[in-house]
Amino acid sequence: MAQHRPLFSRIYRWASPLIERGGIGQRRRKLLDGLTGEVLDLGAGTGVNFVHYPESVTHIVAVEPDPYLRNIAIDAAQHTRMSIDVVGGRAESIPMPDASIDAVITTLVLCSVTDVDQALAEIRRVLRPGGELRFLEHGRGESRLIYRCQRVLDATVWPYLFGGCHLSRDIRHALGRAGFVPSTPDGAGRFGYRRGSGIWVYGTARAS
């Protein structure tokens, strides 16, 4: 099913290079380092992850619901040496067979899916036994003040301006609820996060 977000997709295309230079690009490289086998890039956007995949990845299926961004990703795939298929689809209904993928990548995706629990259930479905989910997301802030501000923005203008993005989602809790356990936990045995605001959630997880 296509997801048409004409205003957001055009703003995102313009803003994406600025976001990458702001530090997200470095986080992407670290996240994708050491990957092997067949990979699903879920919510691929413009294909910004493509240049960061190591040569040990044999094939990439990139799923992007927005037609405008998907066309940009198709062009980006043609300018890499990686084997990449860019297809339409949504995280809540991934167009892949059961147990067909070695790793799933989400970068700034789970904030904007319609149903995060269904999306994570689909990720579990397509992962092969022993496969991993690597994620770089933002979510609920650690402080009460930040969380309250996020809730207000989510209930008003933010999702409409930013393609369905929700600031206050508790991504760490959603991952645990879906049966994922951290392979790269922080010192407290949890999924990694940036201390202070607690906004960034990242790491590697496997199905329990």
Alpha-carbon span 44 to 23, nearest angstrom: 18
Which residues partner with 200 through β-bridges? 138
C-alpha dist (Å) from residue 119 to 57, 167, 196, 198, 199: 23, 17, 28, 23, 20
Q: What are phi and psi of 70, to 5 degrees?
A: -60, -40
Q: What is the pLDDT along the chain (208 residues), one digit of tens a residue?
A: 445 565 667 666 666 666 666 677 888 889 999 999 999 999 999 999 999 999 999 999 999 999 999 999 999 999 999 999 999 999 999 999 999 999 999 999 999 999 999 999 999 999 999 999 999 998 888 888 999 999 999 999 898 888 889 999 999 899 999 999 887 644 444 455 444 455 788 889 998 7
* pLDDT score, position 193: 47
Three-class secondary structure of residue 143 per DSSP: coil
Virtual CA dihedral for 145, 204, 184, 131, nearest 10 degrees? 150
Residue type at 42 in one-letter notation: L
Contacts of 4-7 with CB under 8 Å at 24 or more apart are: 4/66, 4/67, 5/66, 5/163, 5/164, 6/68
> Could you tell me the two tokens for 127?
């992962």
Strands (E) in 35-74, as ranges, are 37-42, 57-63
Alpha-carbon span 59 to 113, nearest angstrom: 24
Residue type at 170 in one-letter notation: D
Give the pTM: 0.87
> Could you tell me the two tokens for 146?
């930040």
